[in-house]
Amino acid sequence: MKAAVYDSYGPPEVVKIADIPRPEPSAQQVLVKVHAGTVNRTDCGFRSAEYFITRLFSGLFNPKIKVLGCEFAGVVESVGDKVEKFAPGDKVFGFNDMHWGGHAEYILLQEKDAFTHIPPGLSMDMAAALTEGAHYALCYIRAAKIKQGDKVLVNGGTGAIGSAAIQLLKYFGANVTAVCDTEYMQVVADLGADRVIDYTKEDFTQLNESFDMVFDAVGKSTFGKTKRLLKKNGKYASTELGPRGENPFLALLGTLKKGKKVLFPLPFIRLDDVEFIAKISAEKRFSPLIDRAYSLDQIVDAYRYVDSGQKRGNVIISMTLSAN
Protein backbone atom coordinates (compact mmCIF):
# COMPACT_ATOMS: atom_id res chain seq x y z
CA MET A 1 0.00 0.00 0.00
CA LYS A 2 1.04 3.62 -0.51
CA ALA A 3 2.14 5.49 2.62
CA ALA A 4 4.00 8.64 3.71
CA VAL A 5 7.03 7.28 5.55
CA TYR A 6 9.73 8.98 7.63
CA ASP A 7 12.96 7.36 8.88
CA SER A 8 14.51 10.32 10.69
CA TYR A 9 13.32 13.44 12.53
CA GLY A 10 13.51 16.71 10.68
CA PRO A 11 11.87 19.15 8.23
CA PRO A 12 8.95 18.22 5.94
CA GLU A 13 11.35 16.72 3.37
CA VAL A 14 12.14 13.74 5.64
CA VAL A 15 8.72 12.39 4.63
CA LYS A 16 8.71 10.25 1.47
CA ILE A 17 6.00 8.37 -0.36
CA ALA A 18 6.73 4.62 -0.34
CA ASP A 19 5.11 1.27 -0.96
CA ILE A 20 4.86 -0.75 2.27
CA PRO A 21 3.09 -4.02 3.14
CA ARG A 22 -0.62 -3.75 3.85
CA PRO A 23 -1.33 -4.90 7.43
CA GLU A 24 -3.74 -7.75 8.21
CA PRO A 25 -6.08 -7.57 11.21
CA SER A 26 -5.66 -10.12 14.00
CA ALA A 27 -8.61 -11.32 16.14
CA GLN A 28 -9.41 -7.99 17.82
CA GLN A 29 -8.21 -5.63 15.12
CA VAL A 30 -9.96 -3.58 12.46
CA LEU A 31 -8.43 -2.68 9.10
CA VAL A 32 -9.70 0.64 7.75
CA LYS A 33 -9.25 1.90 4.19
CA VAL A 34 -8.34 5.52 4.76
CA HIS A 35 -10.30 8.04 2.66
CA ALA A 36 -9.00 11.17 4.40
CA GLY A 37 -6.57 12.22 7.10
CA THR A 38 -5.05 15.50 8.20
CA VAL A 39 -1.61 17.00 8.65
CA ASN A 40 -1.76 18.76 11.99
CA ARG A 41 0.56 20.22 14.60
CA THR A 42 0.73 16.90 16.44
CA ASP A 43 2.06 15.20 13.28
CA CYS A 44 4.50 18.10 12.83
CA GLY A 45 5.65 17.83 16.46
CA PHE A 46 6.46 14.11 16.14
CA ARG A 47 7.99 14.53 12.66
CA SER A 48 10.37 17.31 13.71
CA ALA A 49 10.88 16.19 17.33
CA GLU A 50 11.41 19.91 17.95
CA TYR A 51 10.49 19.28 21.58
CA PHE A 52 12.83 16.59 22.88
CA ILE A 53 10.09 15.14 25.06
CA THR A 54 8.30 13.68 22.01
CA ARG A 55 11.34 11.37 21.49
CA LEU A 56 10.56 9.65 24.79
CA PHE A 57 7.42 8.33 23.10
CA SER A 58 8.55 7.97 19.49
CA GLY A 59 12.21 6.90 19.74
CA LEU A 60 15.31 8.65 21.10
CA PHE A 61 17.39 8.83 17.89
CA ASN A 62 15.02 7.78 15.10
CA PRO A 63 11.26 7.28 14.90
CA LYS A 64 10.15 3.76 15.77
CA ILE A 65 6.82 4.21 14.00
CA LYS A 66 7.42 5.22 10.39
CA VAL A 67 3.95 6.38 9.28
CA LEU A 68 2.43 9.41 11.01
CA GLY A 69 -1.16 10.67 10.72
CA CYS A 70 -3.05 10.72 14.01
CA GLU A 71 -6.44 11.60 12.46
CA PHE A 72 -8.27 9.46 9.93
CA ALA A 73 -11.63 8.76 8.36
CA GLY A 74 -12.42 5.81 6.14
CA VAL A 75 -14.31 2.59 5.57
CA VAL A 76 -13.76 -0.68 7.45
CA GLU A 77 -12.14 -3.11 5.01
CA SER A 78 -11.95 -6.22 7.20
CA VAL A 79 -12.16 -7.21 10.86
CA GLY A 80 -10.68 -9.94 13.09
CA ASP A 81 -12.97 -12.79 14.14
CA LYS A 82 -13.47 -11.44 17.69
CA VAL A 83 -14.51 -7.93 16.61
CA GLU A 84 -18.15 -7.14 17.46
CA LYS A 85 -18.54 -3.39 17.16
CA PHE A 86 -17.50 -2.93 13.52
CA ALA A 87 -18.16 -4.70 10.23
CA PRO A 88 -16.76 -4.30 6.70
CA GLY A 89 -18.33 -1.27 5.01
CA ASP A 90 -18.77 0.78 8.23
CA LYS A 91 -17.70 4.41 7.88
CA VAL A 92 -15.45 5.36 10.80
CA PHE A 93 -13.23 8.19 12.06
CA GLY A 94 -10.91 8.68 14.98
CA PHE A 95 -7.57 9.66 16.50
CA ASN A 96 -4.53 7.58 17.30
CA ASP A 97 -1.27 9.10 18.58
CA MET A 98 0.05 5.79 19.94
CA HIS A 99 0.28 3.75 16.73
CA TRP A 100 -0.49 6.52 14.20
CA GLY A 101 -0.86 5.40 10.54
CA GLY A 102 -3.42 7.79 9.02
CA HIS A 103 -0.97 8.86 6.29
CA ALA A 104 -1.38 5.58 4.43
CA GLU A 105 -3.99 3.82 2.32
CA TYR A 106 -4.88 1.50 5.24
CA ILE A 107 -4.71 1.90 9.01
CA LEU A 108 -4.82 -0.96 11.52
CA LEU A 109 -6.70 -0.33 14.78
CA GLN A 110 -7.61 -2.23 17.93
CA GLU A 111 -11.38 -2.52 18.34
CA LYS A 112 -11.11 -0.60 21.65
CA ASP A 113 -9.11 2.32 20.15
CA ALA A 114 -10.46 5.88 20.02
CA PHE A 115 -12.57 5.61 16.85
CA THR A 116 -16.24 5.30 16.08
CA HIS A 117 -18.87 5.56 13.33
CA ILE A 118 -19.05 8.74 11.24
CA PRO A 119 -22.21 10.77 11.93
CA PRO A 120 -24.67 10.42 9.01
CA GLY A 121 -24.19 12.90 6.20
CA LEU A 122 -20.68 13.99 7.17
CA SER A 123 -18.04 13.87 4.41
CA MET A 124 -14.81 11.92 4.88
CA ASP A 125 -12.79 15.18 4.83
CA MET A 126 -14.90 16.70 7.61
CA ALA A 127 -14.86 13.48 9.65
CA ALA A 128 -11.06 13.25 9.39
CA ALA A 129 -10.71 16.69 10.99
CA LEU A 130 -13.08 16.13 13.92
CA THR A 131 -10.70 15.02 16.64
CA GLU A 132 -7.25 16.64 16.89
CA GLY A 133 -8.19 20.23 17.69
CA ALA A 134 -11.35 19.20 19.53
CA HIS A 135 -9.77 16.71 21.91
CA TYR A 136 -7.01 19.14 22.92
CA ALA A 137 -9.61 21.86 23.43
CA LEU A 138 -11.83 19.50 25.44
CA CYS A 139 -8.93 18.58 27.64
CA TYR A 140 -8.19 22.23 28.56
CA ILE A 141 -11.88 23.13 28.99
CA ARG A 142 -12.42 20.17 31.32
CA ALA A 143 -9.28 20.98 33.31
CA ALA A 144 -10.58 24.53 33.83
CA LYS A 145 -14.01 23.15 34.88
CA ILE A 146 -15.82 25.62 32.63
CA LYS A 147 -19.52 25.93 33.35
CA GLN A 148 -22.58 27.78 32.09
CA GLY A 149 -22.03 31.56 32.09
CA ASP A 150 -18.23 31.53 32.56
CA LYS A 151 -16.33 34.16 30.62
CA VAL A 152 -13.50 32.77 28.49
CA LEU A 153 -11.02 34.46 26.19
CA VAL A 154 -9.60 32.29 23.38
CA ASN A 155 -6.48 33.59 21.68
CA GLY A 156 -5.96 32.07 18.22
CA GLY A 157 -9.57 31.49 17.19
CA THR A 158 -8.49 30.36 13.70
CA GLY A 159 -6.25 27.48 14.84
CA ALA A 160 -7.44 23.86 14.88
CA ILE A 161 -7.56 23.97 18.68
CA GLY A 162 -8.90 27.54 18.94
CA SER A 163 -11.69 27.04 16.39
CA ALA A 164 -12.75 23.84 18.19
CA ALA A 165 -12.47 25.52 21.60
CA ILE A 166 -14.87 28.32 20.61
CA GLN A 167 -17.54 25.82 19.56
CA LEU A 168 -17.05 23.55 22.59
CA LEU A 169 -17.10 26.49 25.01
CA LYS A 170 -20.38 27.66 23.49
CA TYR A 171 -21.69 24.08 23.82
CA PHE A 172 -20.87 24.21 27.56
CA GLY A 173 -22.61 27.59 27.88
CA ALA A 174 -19.62 29.93 28.25
CA ASN A 175 -19.43 33.50 27.00
CA VAL A 176 -16.56 33.58 24.49
CA THR A 177 -14.28 36.40 23.39
CA ALA A 178 -12.01 35.20 20.59
CA VAL A 179 -8.90 36.78 19.09
CA CYS A 180 -7.86 36.41 15.43
CA ASP A 181 -6.67 38.47 12.47
CA THR A 182 -8.87 40.88 10.47
CA GLU A 183 -9.59 38.57 7.55
CA TYR A 184 -11.16 35.82 9.66
CA MET A 185 -13.27 37.85 12.10
CA GLN A 186 -16.55 36.82 10.46
CA VAL A 187 -15.50 33.14 10.32
CA VAL A 188 -14.72 33.22 14.03
CA ALA A 189 -18.02 34.98 14.81
CA ASP A 190 -19.79 32.26 12.78
CA LEU A 191 -18.12 29.61 14.97
CA GLY A 192 -20.11 31.16 17.82
CA ALA A 193 -17.78 33.69 19.47
CA ASP A 194 -19.80 36.35 21.32
CA ARG A 195 -17.12 38.94 20.62
CA VAL A 196 -14.17 38.93 18.22
CA ILE A 197 -10.99 40.94 18.71
CA ASP A 198 -8.72 41.72 15.78
CA TYR A 199 -5.17 41.18 17.02
CA THR A 200 -3.76 43.48 14.34
CA LYS A 201 -5.70 46.40 15.92
CA GLU A 202 -5.98 45.54 19.61
CA ASP A 203 -3.73 43.82 22.14
CA PHE A 204 -6.02 41.54 24.16
CA THR A 205 -3.64 41.59 27.14
CA GLN A 206 -4.54 45.27 27.61
CA LEU A 207 -8.32 44.70 27.94
CA ASN A 208 -9.94 46.19 31.05
CA GLU A 209 -12.08 43.23 32.05
CA SER A 210 -11.70 39.88 33.68
CA PHE A 211 -12.23 36.27 32.62
CA ASP A 212 -12.70 32.89 34.28
CA MET A 213 -10.25 31.48 31.77
CA VAL A 214 -7.73 32.81 29.27
CA PHE A 215 -7.01 30.02 26.81
CA ASP A 216 -4.12 30.80 24.51
CA ALA A 217 -4.76 28.19 21.83
CA VAL A 218 -1.71 29.32 19.82
CA GLY A 219 0.66 29.76 22.75
CA LYS A 220 1.68 33.33 21.94
CA SER A 221 1.17 34.91 25.39
CA THR A 222 2.44 34.25 28.90
CA PHE A 223 0.85 33.90 32.33
CA GLY A 224 2.74 37.02 33.43
CA LYS A 225 1.16 39.15 30.69
CA THR A 226 -2.38 37.80 31.04
CA LYS A 227 -2.65 37.43 34.84
CA ARG A 228 -4.33 40.81 35.19
CA LEU A 229 -7.18 39.57 32.94
CA LEU A 230 -8.03 36.68 35.26
CA LYS A 231 -10.73 36.72 37.93
CA LYS A 232 -9.67 35.86 41.50
CA ASN A 233 -9.64 32.10 40.82
CA GLY A 234 -9.21 32.41 37.05
CA LYS A 235 -7.21 29.92 34.97
CA TYR A 236 -4.60 30.53 32.28
CA ALA A 237 -3.80 27.76 29.80
CA SER A 238 -1.52 27.72 26.78
CA THR A 239 -0.93 25.09 24.10
CA GLU A 240 2.80 25.83 24.19
CA LEU A 241 5.38 25.23 26.92
CA GLY A 242 6.00 28.99 27.25
CA PRO A 243 9.32 30.84 27.64
CA ARG A 244 11.99 28.49 29.11
CA GLY A 245 9.28 25.83 29.39
CA GLU A 246 7.63 27.70 32.27
CA ASN A 247 4.00 26.59 31.79
CA PRO A 248 4.26 23.00 33.15
CA PHE A 249 6.26 24.31 36.17
CA LEU A 250 3.78 27.11 36.85
CA ALA A 251 0.98 24.53 36.61
CA LEU A 252 2.73 22.32 39.19
CA LEU A 253 3.27 25.32 41.46
CA GLY A 254 -0.41 26.22 41.08
CA THR A 255 -1.46 22.91 42.64
CA LEU A 256 0.11 24.12 45.91
CA LYS A 257 -1.72 27.45 46.21
CA LYS A 258 -5.06 29.16 45.79
CA GLY A 259 -5.97 31.97 43.38
CA LYS A 260 -5.06 32.48 39.74
CA LYS A 261 -3.54 29.35 38.22
CA VAL A 262 -1.82 28.00 35.14
CA LEU A 263 -3.20 24.72 33.78
CA PHE A 264 -1.13 22.31 31.71
CA PRO A 265 -3.21 19.15 31.33
CA LEU A 266 -1.79 16.12 29.51
CA PRO A 267 -3.88 15.58 26.39
CA PHE A 268 -4.98 11.94 26.50
CA ILE A 269 -7.85 10.90 24.23
CA ARG A 270 -10.44 8.30 25.21
CA LEU A 271 -13.10 6.54 23.16
CA ASP A 272 -15.67 8.54 25.18
CA ASP A 273 -14.20 11.75 23.78
CA VAL A 274 -14.51 10.56 20.17
CA GLU A 275 -18.08 9.44 20.82
CA PHE A 276 -18.89 12.82 22.40
CA ILE A 277 -17.40 14.63 19.38
CA ALA A 278 -19.46 12.40 17.04
CA LYS A 279 -22.59 13.22 19.04
CA ILE A 280 -22.19 17.00 18.98
CA SER A 281 -21.22 16.85 15.31
CA ALA A 282 -24.42 14.88 14.55
CA GLU A 283 -26.36 17.54 16.50
CA LYS A 284 -24.72 20.21 14.25
CA ARG A 285 -23.17 21.84 17.30
CA PHE A 286 -19.61 21.17 16.24
CA SER A 287 -18.06 21.34 12.81
CA PRO A 288 -14.31 21.43 12.15
CA LEU A 289 -12.95 24.49 10.37
CA ILE A 290 -11.33 23.34 7.11
CA ASP A 291 -8.57 25.27 5.39
CA ARG A 292 -7.49 23.27 2.33
CA ALA A 293 -6.82 19.75 1.06
CA TYR A 294 -3.76 18.03 -0.39
CA SER A 295 -3.30 14.59 -1.94
CA LEU A 296 -1.07 12.02 -0.20
CA ASP A 297 1.56 12.66 -2.88
CA GLN A 298 1.59 16.35 -1.86
CA ILE A 299 2.12 15.64 1.83
CA VAL A 300 5.47 17.46 2.01
CA ASP A 301 3.72 20.65 0.81
CA ALA A 302 1.02 20.08 3.41
CA TYR A 303 3.66 19.77 6.14
CA ARG A 304 5.39 22.96 4.95
CA TYR A 305 2.10 24.84 5.15
CA VAL A 306 1.17 23.50 8.60
CA ASP A 307 4.70 24.22 9.90
CA SER A 308 4.20 27.86 8.86
CA GLY A 309 1.77 28.32 11.78
CA GLN A 310 -0.68 30.04 9.42
CA LYS A 311 -3.21 27.35 8.65
CA ARG A 312 -6.83 28.15 9.40
CA GLY A 313 -8.31 25.21 11.24
CA ASN A 314 -7.48 21.91 9.58
CA VAL A 315 -5.47 20.73 6.58
CA ILE A 316 -6.83 17.61 4.91
CA ILE A 317 -4.97 14.77 3.21
CA SER A 318 -7.52 13.40 0.77
CA MET A 319 -6.83 9.94 -0.64
CA THR A 320 -9.21 10.63 -3.52
CA LEU A 321 -7.33 13.74 -4.70
CA SER A 322 -4.62 13.31 -7.29
CA ALA A 323 -1.38 15.31 -7.17
CA ASN A 324 -2.18 17.49 -10.19
96 binds ligand NAP, rule: CB under 6 A: no
Closest CA to 290 of 198, 158, 137: 158
Residues 49-68 that bind ligand NAP (CB under 6 A): 51
Stretch that binds ligand NAP, among 101-109, 227-235, 250-258, 307-315 (CB under 6 A): 307-315
Residues 230-259 that bind ligand NAP (CB under 6 A): 239-240
2 bridge partner residues: 19
Of the pair 42, 295, the CB lying nearest ligand NAP is at: 42
Helices 132-143, 271-282: inter-axial angle, 10-degree rounding: 110
222 binds ligand NAP, rule: CB under 6 A: no
31: helix, coil or strand? strand
Q: How many residues does the chain have?
A: 324
The residue from 63, 119, 219, 254 that contacts ligand NAP (CB under 6 A) is 219
d(CA 82, CA 283): 32
Of the pair 176, 179, the CB lying nearest ligand NAP is at: 179
Stretch that binds ligand NAP, among 56-64, 81-89, 115-123, 308-316 (CB under 6 A): 308-316
Shortest distance, position 170 Cβ to ligand NAP, whole Å: 17
Stretch that binds ligand NAP, among 3-11, 19-27, 205-213, 305-313 (CB under 6 A): 305-313
> 174-188: string of b/e by CB count within 10 Å (b at 16+)?
bbbbbbbeeebbebb
d(CA 262, CA 97): 25
Stretch that binds ligand NAP, among 72-80, 153-161, 248-256, 268-276 (CB under 6 A): 153-161
From the number of C-beta atoms within 10 Å of its C-beta (0-12, 13-18, 19+), residue 258 rates as exposed
19: helix, coil or strand? strand
40 binds ligand NAP, rule: CB under 6 A: yes
Shortest distance, position 83 Cβ to ligand NAP, whole Å: 30
Query: Which residues, including other chains, have CB under 8 Å from residue 16's CB and lie 6 or more apart?
Result: 4, 5, 6
Query: Which residues, including other chains, have CB under 8 Å from residue 279's CB and lie 6 or more apart?
Result: 119
From the number of C-beta atoms within 10 Å of its C-beta (0-12, 13-18, 19+), residue 232 rates as exposed
180 binds ligand NAP, rule: CB under 6 A: yes
Of the pair 111, 194, the CB lying nearest ligand NAP is at: 194
Shortest distance, position 312 Cβ to ligand NAP, whole Å: 5
Stretch that binds ligand NAP, among 76-84, 108-116, 150-158, 256-264 (CB under 6 A): 150-158
The residue from 311, 316, 317, 319 that contacts ligand NAP (CB under 6 A) is 311
158 binds ligand NAP, rule: CB under 6 A: yes
- Within 10 Å of residue 323's Cβ, how many Cβ atoms? 10
Give the binding site for ligand NAP (CB under 6 A). Answer: 40-42, 45, 51, 133, 136, 155-156, 158-162, 179-181, 199, 217-220, 239-240, 309-312
